[in-house]
């Protein structure tokens, strides 16, 4: 399977929008009922396709992203890592094999169960909009293909919570399908698709300092790189 074909397959699984199905920016503030619907519908979809998602993403190579997080964490390993949006636990297994102490978090009941069984790691099932995170616990957060599911109006608050659960100088990695600041439903999943400038503004406002960013998959023309990856340090 070529990198382009593999990327397209994973994009469909994660809900990257296509040219004929672009979300639009909401025109009104989302109510608590709106947010509950977003959470319930998106998680309901992932629960319904959990086994197919696990098989479809099992061999997806995110070593570039894992390396980007780990090389920026200061201090001596092993590190305490939060895999935020861990899904079925593929990357928890990788962090564990590398000798780190990894904890998973996912909103999907089925993903959380799979992640516990497959990785043997501690996994928390939490609604991303109702997080309960310990203060100053983690050296790094790996948020791979997940933060785009958080509505734009709620994202500053969630980013501040992630900032708070990092140790001083801790590192956040994120990778999201990029866009032109659209937001809305893409089939049964909700997504917000930020461009680089908007993403930088959100993370900076939450108290992070950018360390690097890049586009994925590597080695392809920008038009064929739908994923924006970035690495951030918790400022003092």
The structure's pTM equals 0.90
pLDDT for 6 beyond 50: no
pLDDT for 3 beyond 90: no
Give the residue, 13 or 35, on which the prediction is more confident.
35
End-to-end CA distance of the chain: 45
CATH at 7: 3.40.50.150
Model confidence over 14-39: pLDDT tens digits?
544 443 345 555 557 999 999 999 99
Give the CB-side neighbour count of residue 72, counting CA atoms within 13 A.
Answer: 24
* Domain coverage including residue 40: 3-234
pLDDT for 207 beyond 90: yes
Concatenated DSSP letters of 3-33: HHHHHHHHHHHHTPPPTTS-----SSPPPHH
In angstroms, the CA 101 to CA 24 distance is 39
Query: Domains in the chain: how many in total?
Result: 1
In angstroms, the CA 182 to CA 19 distance is 12
Q: Across the strands, what pairs with 167?
A: none
Contact between 79 and 90 under an 8 Å Cβ cutoff? The reply is no
Model confidence over 60-93: pLDDT tens digits?
889 999 999 999 999 999 999 999 999 999 999 9
Model confidence over 161-181: pLDDT tens digits?
999 999 999 999 999 999 999
């Amino acid at each position: 399977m070529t990198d382009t074909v593999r990327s397209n397959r994973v994009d469909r699984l994660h809900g990257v929008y296509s040219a004929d199905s672009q979300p639009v920016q909401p025109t009104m503030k989302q109510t608590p009922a709106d947010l509950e619907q977003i959470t319930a519908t998106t998680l309901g979809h992932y629960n319904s396709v959990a086994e197919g998602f696990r098989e479809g993403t099992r061999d997806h190579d995110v070593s570039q992203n894992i390396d980007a997080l780990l090389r920026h964490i200061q201090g001596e390993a092993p590190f305490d890592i939060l895999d935020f949006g861990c899904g079925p636990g593929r990357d928890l297994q990788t962090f564990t094999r590398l000798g780190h102490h990894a904890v998973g978090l996912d909103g999907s009941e089925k993903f959380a169960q799979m992640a516990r069984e497959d990785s043997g790691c501690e996994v928390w099932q939490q609604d991303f909009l109702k997080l309960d995170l310990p203060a100053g616990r983690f050296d790094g957060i790996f948020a791979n293909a997940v933060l785009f599911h958080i509505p734009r109006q709620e994202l500053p608050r969630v980013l501040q919570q992630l900032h708070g659960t990092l140790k001083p100088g801790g590192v956040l990695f994120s990778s999201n399908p990029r866009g032109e600041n659209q937001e809305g439903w893409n089939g049964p999943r909700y997504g917000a698709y930020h461009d680089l400038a908007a993403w930088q503004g959100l993370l900076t406002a939450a108290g992070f300092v950018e360390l690097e960013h890049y586009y994925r998959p590597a080695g392809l023309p920008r038009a064929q790189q739908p994923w924006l990856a970035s690495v951030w340090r918790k400022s003092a």
